[in-house]
Structure 1
Amino acid sequence: MAYADQQGLTPAKLIGLIAALTVVGLIGLAMVLGLTISKALKEIERVTTIDIEEPEPPEEEPEEPPPPEQEVSPPPPVAPPPPINIAPAPPPIRTQPTIPPPAPPALRIPPPAPVAPPAPPPAPSQARGATTRNERSWAQRIQDNYPSRALREEVEGTVGVRVTVTPDGRATGCSVTASSGSSILDDAACSGMERYARFNPALDAAGNPTSGSYSTRITYRLN
């Protein structure tokens, strides 16, 4: 209170100041609201005001007169249709319960092939082995050709030999098949066979001379 007194503001002045401020505020508010409502009303009037022009009614067209009536000619006479014969009942249909199988095709047997004539019998074979020729003569010559060393040592024995007979009947390729126990007699027997022995050559199936073989034994004995 002392402060209010010092400033010169009494309660009556304070109340009056408040009342003045309140009146000013209300007047300002009224002015703002009035402007806003006026602007809103103008906007609503602008939007809702629409000029509508009603169209003029169309002129009525004159009615056309009805067409004249045409004479209708009577319809042509119609002949009645010919009568249709309807059979009282269709003929019965016979059905076969099973279908027989088709007949088998005819079996055609080709004729037998002609029999070939029998082949001619083969010609008899002429093949044979080699045989000796004048054996007594050349065998004696081999034995007479007694090795001299065997004579001095009185060596006796029998030699088994095997030779190859050529197509011209000569002996070659002698080999000892059974030794006499003396190499002197074995060598002499083979040398004598290749030198003195003569043969009839071996023949093939056609009868042509060919190579063969021959085996024999030569005995050396002192008289």
Structure 2
Amino acid sequence: MSYATTANRPNPLAAIGALGVPAGVGLVLIAGLAVKIVVNPPIPNPVATDVPTVVVTPEPIVDPLPPTDPQSHAAPAPVPTFTRPSSDIEFGLSPTGPIGPIGDFDTGSLIGSDAFTGTLPPIEPLFDPVDASPRSNPSNWITTNDYRSSWIRRELTGKARFTLRIDASGKVSDCTITGSTGHTPLDRATCMLIQQRAVFNPAKDSDGMATAGTYSSSVNWQIP
């Protein structure tokens, strides 16, 4: 019984605590409402000042002028004018055919006695033609040393006449026996030895140019 009585008795500390909580909250609210508010004075508007408008005009870009030719500024040469002379003669072309002969015309009376007859006089050559000529002595082309011992034993002799064909460089291009010795070995030896040893100055034509030519002579084969 004593315990229940003590429990139902009001606690003074709890009552004080219960009253203290609302009191603290009230003080906080009063302190928050007591904040000092400072109001700054208004700033006066600045005085407006008119600024003059400045207009900037860009300078035009000018390309440098090319060098000028003094003659290019000269006055142009006058163009000549031609005036067709007047004439009272009227000309007309016939559409039916070619123009016929004008009339008999004596050309001899105009040209004179030296009228052109249609032929030209012969033109003289600039150079006289030259025949081919030996550069060395022809007697050295064939000598007694060319006689073979067999020909001497057989007593082969005779005169061989020949004609040579000389080209434009002076060399013998061909040999022809025009008169035989009567012995084939001597005739063959004549052309063979001459073609090997003979050198010529080439012939020249009427223009002075080297050309092909001929040369004729003979060899007398005699036993030494």
The alignment's TM-score, normalised by the length of structure 2, stands at 0.44
Q: Which has the higher helix share?
A: 1
